[in-house]
Amino acid sequence: MPDDEEEMSLRRLIFAAGVFLAAVVLASPAVRGLPSGSPSAGAGQEAPVPGLSALDRQEILKGHVVLKELPNPGKKGRTFEAVGVLPCGLDEAFGVITDYRRYPEFMPHVEDAAVRPQGPGVSIVELRLGLPFGMTKRYRLHYLCSRSAEGFDITWQMVPWPEVPPDEQIADTSGGWRVRKFEGGGLLAAYRVYTDPGHVPLGLTGLAMALAKRSIPAVIEKTRDRIRTLSDSKKK
């Protein structure tokens, strides 16, 4: 194969690996509230909304999303957290984030979402991601929701889906949202996700994770856009 074709193939492979991991993180839609260091990054356990520095608060009040990587000792994957403000009330935010069936309408790369309610605040959600180069990834998530006067928590973890071929699976992912009333107005939303994508070709995990990291704040941004779109449609 000529050198230019080899270089082009390598570039495509790097891009595909990066897009895959970015999509896995980005399309893990309802994620937060899981302390690192516990099984599956602490799936199902509650953690406080992280402390915000004065600089963090300034950025958030400007409409920006603050992103941090969290310690993840003993885990193969990595954990990131994004914090930003949602311009709405609790009912509106809860309605959008728990409307799993409609994730294909606003969450990047989500092509299909099948929901099986299990009881009050509990659902099994099966997601299919459509990625570049014809790649497809599927996983099944177990969601738990709880509400209070001050906000709500939604946590999830991946559960087995034996029918999915190995090449369409990822190794592990978990996370959740923790949403609270914010003193600066609106709601303070903290979104946390742990992802272990499994095998990535040619040792490109570091590069792919860097691309995924840059995509994580978009989850809050897309959720914010969805809330605004629905609000505007109600006003018409």
pLDDT of residue 212: 64
Query: For residue 198, what is the domain's CATH number?
Result: 3.30.530.20
Average pLDDT, integer, range 5-17 = 51
In whole numbers, what is the pLDDT of the chain averaged over residues?
79
| Least-confidence region, from 24-28, 75-79, 164-168 | 24-28
Count of domains in the chain?
A: 1
| Least-confidence region, from 2-6, 102-106, 116-120, 225-229 | 2-6
| DSSP secondary structure of the chain | --HHHHHHHHHHHHHHHHHHHHHHHHT--S-----TTSHHHHTT---PPPP--HHHHHHHHTT--EEEEE--TT-SSEEEEEEEEESS-HHHHHHHHT-GGGGGGTSTTEEEEEEEEEETTEEEEEEEEE-GGG-EEEEEEEEEEEE-SSEEEEEEEEE--TTS-GGG--SEEEEEEEEEE-TTSSEEEEEEEEEE----GGG-HHHHHHHHHHHTHHHHHHHHHHHHHHHHHHH-
pTM of the model: 0.78
* Structural domain span for residue 104: 3-235
